[in-house]
């Protein structure tokens, strides 16, 4: 049970629960509970790694009283974005926040429009003119480089404004959330089963992570035990998704410096993995596999053999790429000491995934929490300490070999699993809980609350990229602007899942 506090007590609570930064802030989000007479509520979840669980508090606001509270960003820097989002979506204002510009809603929305409040209709079409001022540095000889939202390559939309001192990037301000589709509002009133096609389309690259976190939250809220076979298959799918993403990424990072042989090899390996996904799930993004209560299809003996064979081929290719990277001095020159995130920054911003682990911050939900069958896989997070592009590349390569091993173990577990049960039927009822899973980018947290009819009252999605985006403007400072694509690719931050 989460402690309920009044808005005045938020600073004290944040201090206590964050334990001086030892317990990272996983998520902070609002919820409109005025219908049940509670009011507007802010939920704060902190990870307690030593207990493999989460704890936190909720702050209750009387809708007719003051909707202001003291910003916790100066105690918990990771809260900066969450507080801005809560202001956009619910109109709860963090006093003393260093940057209160809108985050999610751009110029075409009017002031005072709070879409996640229950009195706003899902398809409300209101127009207005809100201000969004991009931040720039001023001074003699400084100039600006505006980029996006439509980029030169085939990538997702975001606007970057670089403040330059010659070639060096002094400051980067990013305007994001261009692909905000209102997903959290769109699923309200749907049953979890009805919402699944939307949840697996939050982000193309992380559909297993998103659906797993979502289903885990629903299952925890309703006290459902997932069959063992389904747990093994879910874990296997998660690792396949990670392997596909990491392989794609190590083939994409060299594109930041025009290292073509590596790009080609990476593209070929990724394609093998996408085709494997199609054989397993019937589509190339593993959609439709995870359902509430278990999984929809088995991974047959034939498929298991195919997975094993493809893994062998890909493992060889990854080894080749690692050799190419290691032996190309030009390449090493570009990636070493580029885009550094210091360990303290990673901890302060509660970074997740590759972004955290490349800066020596051992933060991995596969070992920090207990879900799937990771406990049986003898898994240990892979870290590097330099925090540069090279470290993020090496962490991916290291994690790939760990994942190849895990896939073999998982196939073994599946071979030895006598139970053929793939899912248990789920009767949707009232309840609320959270779910977490480790996507290729880092932990993916979701909170699901179901109403008395078992329909979604609130879904909150915090993808790994949401936690890691604020690190990018810090990583680029002082590096030259031609290195930006490289640094950006090394984080491989996804826009679709932060924008939702």
Angle at 351 between CA 82 and CA 61, to 5 degrees: 20
DSSP string, 77-125: GGGHHHHHHHHHHH--EEET-S--S-SS--TTSPTT--TTSTTS-TT--
The nearest distance, CB 99 to other proteins, in angstroms, is: 19
- Nearer Cβ to other proteins (207/359): 207
Told to check if 8 binds other proteins by CB under 8 A, we report no
Rounded Cα distance between 4 and 356, Å, is 31
Helices assigned H by DSSP within 227-293: 228-252, 260-281
> Given the rule CB under 8 A, which of 47-55, 136-144, 264-272, 395-403 is the region that contacts other proteins?
264-272
Residues between 297 and 326 that touch other proteins (CB under 8 A): 297, 316, 320, 323-324
The nearest distance, CB 459 to other proteins, in angstroms, is: 13
The nearest distance, CB 280 to other proteins, in angstroms, is: 7
Rounded Cα distance between 500 and 498, Å, is 6
- Nearer Cβ to other proteins (154/427): 154
- Nearer Cβ to other proteins (147/417): 147
The nearest distance, CB 4 to other proteins, in angstroms, is: 30
Residues between 209 and 248 that touch other proteins (CB under 8 A): 248
Told to check if 288 binds other proteins by CB under 8 A, we report yes
Q: Output b/e per residue, 215-242; b: 16+ Cβ within 10 A.
A: bbbbbbbbebebbbbbbbbbbbbbbbbb
CB 276 within 8 A of CB 240: yes
Name the residue among 139, 85, 143, 136 with its Cα closest to residue 115: 85
- Nearer Cβ to other proteins (35/126): 126
| Total of residues contacting other proteins (CB under 8 A) | 67
Contacts of 8 (CB under 8 A, 6+ apart): none
Distances (CA, A) of 83 to 160, 169, 483: 22, 27, 31
Residues between 136 and 195 that touch other proteins (CB under 8 A): 149-150, 152-157, 177-183, 185-186, 194
The nearest distance, CB 7 to other proteins, in angstroms, is: 27
Residues between 109 and 128 that touch other proteins (CB under 8 A): 109, 115, 120-126
Ramachandran angles phi, psi of 161, nearest 5°: -125, 110
Name the residue among 243, 202, 286, 145 with its Cα closest to residue 465: 202
Binder of other proteins out of 36, 264, 332, 419 (CB under 8 A): 264
Told to check if 58 binds other proteins by CB under 8 A, we report no
Distances (CA, A) of 117 to 66, 87, 88, 102, 122: 16, 11, 11, 17, 10
478 CB neighbour count, 10 Å cutoff: 11
Told to check if 282 binds other proteins by CB under 8 A, we report yes
- Nearer Cβ to other proteins (16/201): 201
Angle at 447 between CA 155 and CA 206, to 5 degrees: 30
CA end-to-end span of the chain: 28
- Nearer Cβ to other proteins (371/466): 466
> Given the rule CB under 8 A, which of 35-43, 272-280, 347-355, 422-430 is the region that contacts other proteins?
272-280
- Nearer Cβ to other proteins (48/279): 279
Residue ranges that bind other proteins, judged by CB under 8 A: 105-106, 108-109, 115, 120-126, 149-150, 152-157, 177-183, 185-186, 194, 197-198, 201-205, 207, 248, 261, 264-265, 267-268, 270-271, 274-275, 278-285, 287-288, 297, 316, 320, 323-324, 327, 494-496
């Amino acid at each position: 049970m989460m402690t309920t506090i009044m808005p005045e007590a938020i600073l004290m609570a944040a201090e206590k629960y964050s334990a001086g930064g030892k317990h990272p802030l996983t998520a902070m989000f609002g919820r409109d509970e005025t219908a049940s007479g509670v009011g507007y509520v802010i939920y704060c979840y902190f990870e307690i790694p030593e207990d493999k669980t989460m704890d936190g508090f909720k702050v209750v606001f009387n809708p007719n009283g003051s909707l202001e509270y003291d910003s916790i960003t100066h105690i918990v820097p990771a809260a900066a974005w969450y507080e801005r989002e809560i202001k956009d979506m619910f109109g709860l204002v963090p006093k003393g926040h260093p940057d209160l510009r809108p985050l999610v809603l751009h110029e075409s929305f009017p002031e005072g429009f709070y879409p996640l409040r229950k009195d706003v209709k899902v398809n409300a079409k209101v127009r207005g003119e809100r201000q969004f001022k991009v931040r720039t540095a001023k001074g003699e000889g400084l100039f600006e480089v505006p980029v996006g939202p439509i980029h030169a390559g085939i990538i997702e939309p975001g606007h970057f404004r670089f403040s330059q001192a010659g070639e060096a990037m002094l400051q980067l301000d990013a305007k994001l959330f261009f692909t905000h589709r209102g997903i959290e509002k769109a699923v309200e009133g749907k049953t979890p089963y009805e919402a699944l096609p939307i949840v697996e389309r939050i982000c193309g690259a992380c559909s297993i992570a998103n659906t797993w976190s979502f289903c885990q939250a629903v299952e925890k809220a309703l006290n459902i035990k997932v069959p063992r076979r389904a747990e093994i298959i879910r874990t296997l799918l998660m690792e396949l998704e990670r392997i596909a993403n990491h392989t794609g990424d190590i083939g994409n990072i060299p594109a930041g410096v025009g290292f073509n042989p590596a790009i080609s090899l990476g593209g070929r390996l990724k394609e093998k993995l996408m085709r494997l996904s199609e054989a397993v799930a019937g589509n190339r993004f593993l959609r439709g596999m995870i359902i509430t209560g278990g999984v929809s299809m088995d991974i047959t003996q034939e498929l298991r053999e195919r997975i094993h064979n493809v893994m062998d081929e890909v493992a060889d290719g990854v080894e080749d790429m690692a050799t190419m990277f290691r032996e190309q001095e030009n390449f090493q020159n570009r990636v070493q000491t580029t885009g550094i995130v210091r360990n303290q920054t990673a901890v302060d911003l509660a970074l997740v995934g590759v972004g955290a682990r490349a800066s020596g911050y051992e933060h991995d939900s596969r070992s920090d929490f207990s879900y799937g069958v990771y406990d049986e896989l003898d898994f240990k997070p892979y870290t590097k300490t330099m925090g540069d592009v090279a470290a993020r590349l090496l962490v991916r390569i290291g994690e790939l070999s760990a994942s190849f091993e895990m896939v073999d173990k998982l196939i073994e577990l599946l071979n030895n699993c006598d139970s053929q049960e793939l899912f248990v039927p789920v009767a949707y009822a009232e309840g609320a809980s959270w779910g977490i899973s480790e996507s290729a980018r880092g932990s993916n947290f979701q909170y699901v609350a179901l109403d008395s009819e078992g329909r979604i009252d609130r879904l909150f999605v915090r993808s790994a990229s949401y936690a890691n985006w604020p690190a990018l403007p810090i990583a680029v400072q002082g590096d030259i602007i031609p290195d930006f694509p490289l640094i950006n690719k090394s984080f491989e931050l996804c826009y679709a899942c932060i924008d939702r």
